[in-house]
């Protein structure tokens, strides 16, 4: 193959830029022409693409977001949208496509590559870490570090006022950020979608211990079954009116910021591996990190398999380390 395209799609994640850089430079090193597609699948349909060279990706390694922009694109879910995308790629002579994104992005890529003769490789880019076939996804480490930084700051003010803080973090289906950030930031309790925690159990936990703490932090992943942080805080306050309860929703700040060294290295490895996969004639695969090696998984498997990604020892130690 002589010409490939790269795009970022769905939710942005820190580490996408280092990954784009690796795709572009690895491609050019191997004599390929590399085209950057703007705004994900929308750019494929609107023919919003440009030729990139090794300097197009200078000085982006440390930047969050994505220089290619990202978008959600309903039209790509229609057959007519897929067809338009194919024609635009074909007209430009593009013979391979690399998509950086999450579950939805891979679903589109899988479908597209089943219908049309352009090989596609997926790179897992999502702060949620919720894809099968990669122990870590791009952006998860940076987002977790951002949450830990926020926890440390909230800890100061919580302690000064003897308060109980409920901090809501991202993760509609996945408690990965909540668990890791909670352990790193010393949370007293962590509420996750993967594990049910009854409110009275949570209250018992907060009250227990011979030396009762004066301030506490509880992390709530968005997808926890008890509702959002405000709902849970209200219920706890009803049971224990003496607690001085506050809520902080961290929201979109978790998506931004300079990628951590881990995400820069992971993005570089995955981008490099994706180009090599295309050169080796692979298609409909995802490149991922397993243990400390880069491996290929079927895109279909990455979408359809739901792996329990929470480390059992981390789950076990939360209460123990908070005594
Ligand atoms: P993420 O990739 O982060 O999970 P989305 O779920 O928004 O983000 O998916 C990104 C894009 O992938 C969607 O906007 C759409 O263009 C495309 N996509 C998602 N599901 C499908 C599908 N079933 N068929 C075709 N394209 C899809």
pLDDT of residue 94: 98
DSSP secondary structure code for residue 74 in this structure? G
- Model pLDDT for residues 183-209, shown as the tens digit of each residue: 999 999 999 999 999 999 998 888 875
pLDDT of residue 209: 59
* Whether pLDDT at 7 is above 70: yes
- Ligand 1 binding pocket, CB closer than 6 Å: 9-11, 41, 72-73, 76-77, 101-105, 107-108, 111, 126
* Average pLDDT, integer, range 79-93: 98
Q: Is residue 210 very low, low, confident or very high in pLDDT (cuts 50, 70, 90)?
A: low
pLDDT of residue 205: 83
Please state, for a pLDDT cut of 90, what percent of the chain lies above it.
90
Q: From the alpha carbon of 10, which atom of ligand 1 is closest?
A: 8
* Average pLDDT, integer, range 207-224: 84
Quote the ipTM score: 0.99
CA-to-CA distance for 278 and 1, rounded, in angstroms? 8
Identify which has the larger pLDDT, 306 or 56: 56
Q: In the predicted model, what is the mean pLDDT of the chain?
A: 96
* Average pLDDT, integer, range 233-261: 95
- Model pLDDT for residues 27-45, shown as the tens digit of each residue: 999 999 999 999 999 999 9
Mind giving me the DSSP string for 195-261? Answer: B---HHHHHHHHH-SSS--S-EEEEEETT-TT--HHHHHHHHHHH-TTS-EEEEE-GGGGG-SPPPH
Distance from residue 311's CA to the centre of ligand 1 (Å): 28
pLDDT of residue 212: 73
Distance from residue 244's CA to the centre of ligand 1 (Å): 42
pLDDT of residue 211: 62
The total number of residues shown for the chain amounts to 323
* Average pLDDT, integer, range 154-166: 94
Taking a C-beta distance cutoff of 8 angstroms, is the pair 53, 83 a contact? no
CA-to-CA distance for 157 and 194, rounded, in angstroms? 30
3-state SS class at 13: coil
Is 157 annotated as belonging to a binding site?
no
- Model pLDDT for residues 100-149, shown as the tens digit of each residue: 999 999 999 999 999 999 999 999 999 999 999 999 999 999 999 999 99
Nearest residue (CA) to ligand 1, atom 9: 104
pTM value? 0.97
Spell out the residues 6+ positions from residue 232 whose beta carbon is closer than 8 angstroms to its own. Answer: 166, 191, 199, 202, 218, 220, 224, 226
* Average pLDDT, integer, range 152-175: 95
CA-to-CA distance for 173 and 50, rounded, in angstroms? 35
Is 212 annotated as belonging to a binding site?
yes
12 is catalytic: no
Q: Which residues sit opposite 96 in a β-bridge? A: 4
């Amino acid at each position: 193959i002589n010409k490939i395209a790269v795009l970022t799609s769905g939710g942005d994640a820190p580490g996408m830029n280092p990954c784009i850089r690796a795709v572009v430079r690895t491609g050019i090193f191997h004599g390929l022409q590399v085209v950057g597609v703007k705004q994900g699948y929308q750019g494929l349909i609107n023919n919003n693409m440009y030729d990139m060279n090794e300097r197009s990706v200078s000085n982006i390694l440390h930047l969050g977001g994505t220089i290619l922009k990202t978008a959600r694109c309903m039209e790509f879910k229609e057959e007519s949208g897929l067809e338009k995308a194919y024609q635009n790629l074909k007209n430009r002579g593009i013979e391979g496509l690399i998509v950086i994104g999450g579950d939805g992005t891979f679903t589109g890529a899988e479908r597209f590559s089943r219908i049309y003769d352009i090989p596609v490789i997926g790179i897992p880019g999502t702060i949620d870490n919720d894809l099968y076939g990669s122990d870590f996804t791009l952006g998860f480490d940076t987002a977790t570090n951002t949450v830990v930084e926020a926890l440390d700051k909230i800890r100061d003010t919580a302690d000064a006022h003897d308060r109980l803080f409920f901090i809501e973090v991202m993760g509609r289906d996945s408690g990965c950020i909540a668990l890791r950030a909670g352990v790193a930031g010393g949370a007293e309790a962590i509420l996750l979608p993967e594990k049910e925690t009854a409110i009275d159990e949570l209250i018992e936990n907060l009250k227990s211990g011979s030396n009762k703490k004066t301030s506490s932090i509880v992390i709530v992943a968005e997808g926890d079954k008890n509702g959002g942080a405000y709902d849970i805080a209200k219920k706890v306050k009803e049971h224990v009116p003496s607690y001085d309860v506050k809520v902080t929703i961290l929201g979109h700040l978790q998506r931004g910021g300079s990628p951590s060294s881990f995400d820069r290295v992971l993005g570089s490895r995955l981008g490099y591996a994706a180009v090599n996969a295309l050169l080796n004639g692979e298609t409909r695969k995802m490149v991922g990190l397993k243990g400390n090696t880069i491996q290929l998984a079927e895109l279909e498997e990455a979408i359809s398999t739901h792996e329990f990604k929470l480390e059992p020892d981390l789950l076990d130690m939360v209460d123990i380390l908070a005594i």
